[in-house]
Amino acid sequence: MIVIPPKLPLESLLFYTDADDNRQPIKTDADRKLKREQSLKAMQKAMGQLPGRPRRTSLKDFNIRTTSTQQRGRYTKKHIHYDVAEGEVVHAFLYEPLGLKPGEKRPGIIAHHPTAKYGKQTFEGWPNSNFVTELAMQGFVVIVPDYPTIGESRDYDLTADRYDSGPIKGVFNHMSSVDLLQLLPTVDPDRIGAIGHSLGGRNTVYLQAFDERVKVGVSSCGWTTFRSKILLEERLLATEYFMPFLKTKYNLDLAKFPFEYTDAFAAIAPRVFYSYSPASDGVHPGWGPAAAAPVIQKYYDACGAKDAFIFKQPPGDHHFPWTWRQDSYKVIRDTLNYHLHGALGLLAERKGREAIPDLKKALDDPSQKNRWVAAHHLGLLGDQSGLARMKQDFKSLAPNQGTPLPSDEQGHARLVVALEVARVLAELGDGAGYALAAELATNGASGHRWRAAEVLAYVANLDNDVLSAGDMDPIGILKTMAATEKDNDEFFVYLDRVHKIVRDRSEMIAIFAIAKDSKHQTELKVPWGPTVGEVYWIVASRDKDRPYDYK
């Protein structure tokens, strides 16, 4: 059994070890650099040495093979395979935004999956924690590699490779994946982030510790202290999958173990780290991070980065709920200086209600997009002053009732903008865009239908008397879409929009009950068997009594 000494306090991070093995207080940047080096050495004493990576100057160096490409919502999803070293292949999904201007670059995110049999494929059957497609829909470039022994890498043999542990092989793969991200023409190499849940949260800690290119990390339920009696079972910790040296080198004696998780944060600071560590997490017990957070915070304070360590510990179990995902996305957007809505979106998130005067001015901006973005963010701040302008803009954009829908490229783009404005109107409590959305939901082109579903989902949240007075039946149209939509990719985004927006759970369940039996979507399945429509029905039915923000 593992020996856990009865009194083994967390050590302060405010010291480094000098050449005579004496502790010295950290006073200078040089001291902090030395502390980081010593922390990484301590981690490698436990995890094994991190090998050097080949120097790559071109994507050709990765020998990337693409086996499928899909266009969904605002992104393209590619199934790729690439070489990180001779004989070592990583399998991943790559999500890249649509509609980039020539030369435009976006931040890159490496997303880590939890311990789940199907690895990267898990997210698309996991509606309540699909941060991968949520970030892709926001315009980030996202790469999701399989962890060794999981997903397409399930046959990887950790006992026969050149690495001393699974985690250090993971670090090598993930740093190589950052190499790839930085070489993509769609990625700004100076704006890289990482996010993960459970095993993925832990891998985010490790990657950001070793790789200074990662400017922001988000870990959900991903770490605790080694003093946790739940984590410190030999079968979970002292194995090839995690850290075999604990048994083979340190004889299961924690007092001899060379590092604690706090050391990883000494290697991460002063870069931004967001830790979601719910109090009742049964995998990475919440009391461990709660005890470690003050130690980590003191180190961040000493680095002059007191706001860069963000620790959240609400009630909750081993999940990553919607509210906290959204909170973490704000940190990612702020750190990487990017928002799908551009400068106005960043302004609204950074200044809150102080941004209202500037947002109101933007309602008269020559740019149509800036006008609806301003109205949207004003609405989020509780200000309805964009409503009149949105009604005016929608009237100028929407085709006259009874006229044929435009089929040319310019007409398609105009309808996209009209649907964006219709969505903002619905958010503000106005159903003026209902008729257009109802028409495009079943008769629109690709890219129109999922946006129409989004508008209808918001209209469905209006008061019943408003719906009745306007003779609007958005739920009925959404049910029709559930039965008739033939395009897998449009259908996938449609399901997500209904799940994220519709407030009435009983109506949501009724829509998904139709979706799960769609004769057109029998091939859109998750790896473990059910159709994606059935997954959404199962999840919505299970959560029928939960609050709206549990999604």
Q: What is the pTM of this model?
A: 0.96
| Local confidence band at 507 (pLDDT 50, 70, 90 cut-offs) | very high
d(CA 536, CA 23): 55
Smallest Cα–Cα separation from 540: which of 497, 508, 503, 517?
508
Task: Let me know if 184 is exposed, middle or buried by CB neighbors in 10 A (0-12, 13-18, 19+).
Answer: middle
Residue 410: which residues within 8 A CB-CB, separation 6 or more?
A: none
CA angle 454, 128, 334 (to 5 degrees): 75
Rounded average pLDDT over 155-182: 97
Residue 147 predicted with pLDDT over 90:
yes
Rounded average pLDDT over 304-321: 96
Give per-residue pLDDT as tens, 315-359. 999 999 999 999 999 999 999 999 999 999 999 999 999 999 999
Cis omega (within 30 of 0) for bond into 527: no
Rounded average pLDDT over 442-465: 96
Residue 465 predicted with pLDDT over 60:
yes
Strand, helix or coil at 80? strand
Mean pLDDT across the chain: 94
Fold classified for 59-335: Rossmann fold (3.40.50)
Q: How many CA atoms lie within 13 A of 436 on its CB side?
A: 28
Give per-residue pLDDT as tens, 216-228. 999 999 999 886 5
Give per-residue pLDDT as tens, 15-26. 999 999 999 999
Smallest Cα–Cα separation from 12: which of 227, 266, 254, 202?
266
Residue 52: which residues within 8 A CB-CB, separation 6 or more?
A: none
d(CA 42, CA 55): 25
Q: Would you state the structure tokens that stand for residue 39, as one six-digit string?
A: 């922390």
Q: Report residue 511 CA to chain centroid gap.
A: 26
Residue 231 predicted with pLDDT over 50:
no
Neighbours of 75 (CB within 10 A): 24
d(CA 131, CA 327): 12
d(CA 545, CA 71): 34
pLDDT value for 550: 81
Residue 257 predicted with pLDDT over 90:
no
Rounded average pLDDT over 453-479: 97
| Local confidence band at 143 (pLDDT 50, 70, 90 cut-offs) | very high
d(CA 515, CA 545): 21
C-alpha distances (whole Å) from 324 to each of 129, 215, 551 are: 10, 20, 11
pLDDT value for 1: 57
pLDDT value for 331: 98
Task: Let me know if 480 is exposed, middle or buried by CB neighbors in 10 A (0-12, 13-18, 19+).
Answer: middle
Q: Where along the chain do its domains lie?
A: 59-335, 386-542
What values do phi and psi take at 12, rounded to 5?
A: -60, 145
